[in-house]
Structure 1
């Protein structure tokens, strides 16, 4: 039997002090992310959008801002569960509103303050020295769309979004068409718009052109190769590197020593690079694909064909950004709102939370010069941020600690440098339009041991040309 003194020595009392806003504003926080979305910023967007309450309520509008943001950080929790996470550390000193009261505060706010908040947070984050952010003197950015964020199947949502037609019929849920402009190096959102999938991707992308400037190089896939759209991109001063459809016939106005040719597209002088990319895997499997790229970088000495072909691969960083948004943050969940106004509010909040986490990650990476943002774990950042919300920790921490607890967790668990590999396509939804395996691509994950890029001046639609090819071989390190 233990003695009384032994029992006392085995018990330690730990007390912790938390600092939050006073009174009814106490539940209005986002843990350590509050330093990126401080109280002053929340108040400012409320004032700008004229959504501040006229009389002090049990649920002030500022608390509503943080509650809606927390909905995006805890997608699997109901309203009461999210509120419990915000108030867990307050030890019963916060009000316990009903689900109706929480719905009412959402309705009172509307989408405007969340959209204003996202507009303030959005923008490129990488410094010129950040790995992967720049190609020469240009910041690389990408356009791409996403139609896999599902919403509740209500009459009002269907009236706004309709239903997607898939390979085997209509999808079970309506889906939002999201279009974003992303900085490839950090996967930060520079701009975003969303709405009905009935409008094509280029229609939505045009609404983001005002974010482009002469410091940017736009990467995009074949869905954005319309001549008029590319002319509009060039009109902003930005340069572009876009994959064009294989069957497109373009005039050849000149030939360059690296095998690329000069042409005209939408009234623009462009350079066309035709290439074959061959992949050899560790088990001996080989496959490849032909590419045709159009770019306004016409100087073949300053921008060799091989370098541009390798750069085009960075376009896939946009897909990783959507993976983090849909699956890591949203966890594949259907959104909550049954009407378009609620969906708009929810989407702007989700995008704002995504960007806030990217800011926290990039701030941490900046403290260790030369660290590639690719190595930062978004999943770890989300998990750490959730824990800090539940504990109401670092709510009022100063900005002198650039990394913070989120950044320190990310830096202490950096992923290894990315290895060249083939990832087999796994489609979970039978209705997906991408449910077919690409011809020739392996059906299992394999390590790449050799990449061969053959740039050619031969245009398959111009039979009078002579083939000039240059083979560029890259042997990845084991």
Structure 2
């Protein structure tokens, strides 16, 4: 049995990415190379177009080295005269191309992916989008990378690898990328988000976490004509200008007239567990009749779709690995290539889902699409549209996605814990959530009516929320205050607090040591503490 493949001619034959080449066609790659001045001066065995597809292949086959990636791209070209370059030749090819063509390619493919009728992508007339940062992308621990990114320092010492800050603007309904910026973590998320705020459009509704509630950022977002729904820090004290019938109220933040919704959300699981949290949302949607508080609180949950996008990029595509490049120029090139590849896969997924009207893009599996894309690249399948089916928008990758559609999204929750056997922080994550995933049987939303506005007083932070339960340090100091002159053993305090088990007790030991370093306690002997002063209880945070 013979199999026919259709690829570019001559030395350009290895320049493909399987069926993803239809999303990133030859003409587009040639155009960005010409625009950025990266086209080869003389046509030799490794032209620049082939180099761009090779760079994308490095992201598609992250688990193998550069030479093996080349072998995978030419595996389906049996019988064709293709070159067999050395590692050095491939490295020189990367350097010759640089990062500019990959960045230009991303700027072309980035953007909203869903049609207006696609389920789950719009709230009323607005396309929902979200900003967030990812600071867990690790790069090789090389001197040039450290000089650019620095290294994170914790109380236990320096981190193992420098990390890269990635900021993206994501279409929450499809998890497609509208824009991206990355670099050292030092400038912070807001600085990177401000670089991308110009990508917002009047038909968009921006969802952000509480790290993006700064006045400068909100004004910049509103100036684009987009609406926003932003979670605010509990320490913000917005003035109450008018209370609306649904419990929300109007306020002024800098020069913006906004609406504030304060609510408590309680989730009840099938096992009887219940978890609650308080939310304060700022929004430019001022009319409580068209946008009631309950609807906006439910909508805010869509912001978490950007976390799924980062999971696909960081864990599914990269498999948690450290990036390849050992210098900043290579890191920049590699990152733009990964973002282009991610967007190309999302494009195929959304196109496939939209071929079945009424199907939510949430049901498309990124892992399924990724594996199908790898298969098509190694077999050189679908490099060009089939002549007999020029309008086939699904293809091999889309067919695999449709054949493996995920079930409809379930509402569920589980504990947010550090999943590390040597972690000392188990007790810090004890928020009452069940240790395993549990289906949610009920969600109760209570909108808080604002009380009389209290003027600011020194040292007072008026949150507008119900008083929180005292923390563990308060409970410890209360127990020790009953016998202030007694040396207290950690085990005695743990028993009094109901802390049992080796790991929770070890975590409690660590907390006691930290409080001693902070001056709240005095360490009198190994594992033994005394209260620092009789006034420590009132001074505790």
Q: Same fold (TM over 0.5)?
A: yes
Of 130, 133, 136, the residue aligned with 1:142 is 130
Contact 2:415 2:431 in 1 (8 A): no
Confirm whether residue 449 of structure 1 aligns to residue 437 of structure 2.
no
Confirm whether residue 48 of structure 1 aligns to residue 40 of structure 2.
no
Matched with 2:396 is 405
Confirm whether residue 299 of structure 1 aligns to residue 290 of structure 2.
no
Confirm whether residue 32 of structure 1 aligns to residue 33 of structure 2.
no
Contact 1:139 1:217 in 2 (8 A): yes
Report the alpha carbon displacement of residue 432 of structure 1 after superposing the two structures with TM. Answer: 11
Contact 1:275 1:453 in 2 (8 A): yes
Confirm whether residue 153 of structure 1 aligns to residue 110 of structure 2.
no
Aligned-partner Cα distance in 2 for 1:365–1:168: 47
Report the alpha carbon displacement of residue 168 of structure 1 after superposing the two structures with TM. Answer: 4.1
1:156-182 per-residue CA deviation (whole Å, 9 max, x = no partner) reads 000000012346443200011000000
Matched with 2:262 is 274
Matched with 2:429 is 437
Of 40, 56, 61, the residue aligned with 1:69 is 56
Contact 1:271 1:296 in 2 (8 A): yes
Matched with 1:201 is 189
Aligned-partner Cα distance in 2 for 1:460–1:376: 48
Contact 1:287 1:440 in 2 (8 A): yes
Confirm whether residue 458 of structure 1 aligns to residue 450 of structure 2.
yes
Q: In terms of Rg, which structure is larger?
A: 2
Aligned-partner Cα distance in 2 for 1:374–1:410: 11
Report the alpha carbon displacement of residue 444 of structure 1 after superposing the two structures with TM. Answer: 2.2
Aligned-partner Cα distance in 2 for 1:347–1:81: 20
| SS of corresponding position for 1:208 | helix
The structure with higher relative contact order (CA 8 Å, sep 6+) is 1
Aligned-partner Cα distance in 1 for 2:452–2:363: 40
Report the alpha carbon displacement of residue 228 of structure 1 after superposing the two structures with TM. Answer: 1.4
Contact 2:418 2:426 in 1 (8 A): yes
Confirm whether residue 377 of structure 1 aligns to residue 369 of structure 2.
no
Aligned-partner Cα distance in 2 for 1:308–1:227: 21
Matched with 2:176 is 188
Aligned-partner Cα distance in 2 for 1:46–1:15: 35
Matched with 2:352 is 364
Contact 1:230 1:266 in 2 (8 A): no
Contact 1:68 1:349 in 2 (8 A): yes
Q: Which runs of 5+ in 1 are unaligned?
A: 1-13, 468-478
Matched with 1:475 is none
Contact 1:227 1:265 in 2 (8 A): yes
TM-score scaled by structure 2?
0.81
Of 260, 265, 269, the residue aligned with 2:248 is 260
Aligned-partner Cα distance in 1 for 2:265–2:451: 16
Report the alpha carbon displacement of residue 376 of structure 1 after superposing the two structures with TM. Answer: 0.3
Matched with 1:97 is 85
Contact 1:167 1:431 in 2 (8 A): no
Instruction: Pick closer, same or farther for the CA change 1:105–1:115 going to 2, 3 Å.
Output: same
Aligned-partner Cα distance in 2 for 1:412–1:84: 29
Report the alpha carbon displacement of residue 266 of structure 1 after superposing the two structures with TM. Answer: 1.8
Coordinate RMSD, CA, aligned:
2.1
Confirm whether residue 162 of structure 1 aligns to residue 153 of structure 2.
no
1:355-388 per-residue CA deviation (whole Å, 9 max, x = no partner) reads 0000000111111111000000000000000000
1:293-319 per-residue CA deviation (whole Å, 9 max, x = no partner) reads 000001000001000000000000000
Report the alpha carbon displacement of residue 287 of structure 1 after superposing the two structures with TM. Answer: 1.7
Matched with 2:277 is 289
Contact 2:351 2:393 in 1 (8 A): yes
Q: Which runs of 5+ in 2 are unaligned?
A: 456-461, 465-541
Contact 2:240 2:453 in 1 (8 A): no
Instruction: Pick closer, same or farther for the CA change 1:119–1:167 going to 2, 3 Å.
Output: farther
Report the alpha carbon displacement of residue 184 of structure 1 after superposing the two structures with TM. Answer: 0.4
Instruction: Pick closer, same or farther for the CA change 1:230–1:78 going to 2, 3 Å.
Output: same
Q: 369-378 vs 165-174, which deviates more?
A: 165-174
Aligned-partner Cα distance in 1 for 2:425–2:166: 17
